């Protein structure tokens, strides 16, 4: 039975140029996309914010309060997750409207179709800065890889029905940005992979992001909060990798990382 999936692009109603920018790329590839209504930060009411965003959880899990742009971005991604469930899809590609799509995107779709069931959530995007691969599982033209940690941004992902259901039921109210929260999906039993080579990267429109307009550079909750959260994250991540791969395989991969070149 063929896999049922769609390509979603999150886009604000008035951002026609951004949507056309992405659509033109997929038209050249002969692929259809479906628009997911973005959430306008300027139209967010305090009532809506109170329903979905937890300042208490934010203080415990992130370095500073979220601004309206970050909250609106998170809610827009939730719209995409809900669409996966409402349309009873096996999975969906969820993209933001500032991406550059690689020419081998159709091949990656075929790869994701054939490996469906082996993953819950796949990051399709290039890293924002070079990272060394911890472990790579080559599956023909593409690979699934693991990093010790992943870089931020959430502009390109493949999300299964299982993952969408878990995220909707387990993440609200939220306290951190949607991209940072990906690092903690394991708590919901969601298995995350990273696709190599990546098939989407960030485009020029990223510099004109509506989210940036709302960044008021709030001060951190308290001194050294980033360092504290980073230490906690790395300890938990290393323990998970040791359980997943076993102590000897973990040590082997750590040693091999020394000789690997960082990749985007």
**209: pLDDT strictly greater than 80:** no
Percent of the chain with pLDDT over 70: 94
Q: What is the Cα–Cα distance from 263 to 38, expressed in whole angstroms?
A: 31
Q: What is the Cα–Cα distance from 246 to 239, expressed in whole angstroms?
A: 10
Residue 262 covered by a domain: no
The pLDDT assigned to 221 comes to 84
Residue 238 sits in a domain of what CATH number? 3.90.550
**216: pLDDT strictly greater than 70:** no
Give mean pLDDT, residues 100-124: 97
Give mean pLDDT, residues 159-176: 96
Contacts of 83 (CB under 8 A, 6+ apart): 8, 34, 36, 89, 92
- 126-162 pLDDT, tens per residue? 988 899 999 999 999 999 999 998 767 899 999 999 9
* Predicted TM-score (pTM) of this structure: 0.93
* DSSP 8-state symbol, 15: -
The pLDDT assigned to 82 comes to 98
The pLDDT assigned to 218 comes to 64
Give mean pLDDT, residues 199-210: 71
Among candidate residues 76, 10, 15, 84, the one with its CA nearest the CA of residue 48: 76
> Is the separation of the CB atoms in 65 and 58 below 8 Å?
yes
CB atoms within 10 A of CB 117: 10
The pLDDT assigned to 15 comes to 94
Residue 212 covered by a domain: yes
**208: pLDDT strictly greater than 60:** no
Q: State the average pLDDT for the chain.
A: 93
Residue 161 covered by a domain: yes
- 13-71 pLDDT, tens per residue? 999 999 999 999 999 999 999 999 999 999 999 999 999 999 999 999 999 999 999 99
Residue 264 covered by a domain: no
Give the number of domains in the chain: 1
> Is the separation of the CB atoms in 210 and 12 below 8 Å?
yes
Residue 195 covered by a domain: yes
**1: pLDDT strictly greater than 90:** no
- What is the span of the domain harbouring residue 25? 5-257
């Amino acid at each position: 039975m063929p896999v049922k999936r769609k390509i979603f692009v999150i886009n604000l109603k008035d951002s026609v140029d951004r949507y056309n920018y992405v659509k033109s790329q997929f038209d050249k590839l002969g692929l259809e996309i479906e628009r997911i209504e973005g959430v306008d930060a300027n139209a967010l009411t305090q009532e809506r914010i109170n329903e979905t965003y937890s300042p208490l959880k934010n203080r415990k899990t992130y370095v500073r309060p979220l601004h309206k742009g970050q909250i609106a971005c998170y809610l827009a991604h939730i719209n995409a997750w809900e669409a996966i469930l409402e349309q009873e899809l096996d999975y969906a590609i969820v993209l933001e409207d500032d991406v550059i799509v690689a020419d081998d995107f159709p091949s990656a779709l075929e790869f994701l179709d054939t490996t469906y069931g082996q993953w819950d959530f796949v990051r399709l995007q290039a890293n924002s800065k070079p990272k060394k691969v911890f472990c790579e599982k080559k599956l023909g033209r593409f690979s699934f890889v693991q990093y010790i940690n992943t870089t931020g941004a959430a502009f390109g992902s493949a999300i299964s029905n299982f993952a969408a259901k878990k995220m909707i039921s387990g993440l609200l109210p939220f306290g951190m940005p949607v991209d940072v929260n990906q690092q903690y999906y394991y708590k919901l039993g969601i298995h995350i992979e990273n696709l190599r080579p990546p098939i989407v990267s960030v485009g020029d429109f990223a510099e004109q992001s509506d989210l940036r307009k709302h960044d008021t550079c709030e001060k951190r909750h308290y001194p050294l909060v980033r360092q504290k959260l980073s230490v906690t994250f790395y300890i938990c991540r290393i323990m998970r990798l040791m359980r997943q791969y076993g102590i000897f395989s973990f040590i082997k991969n750590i040693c091999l990382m020394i000789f690997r070149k960082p990749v985007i």
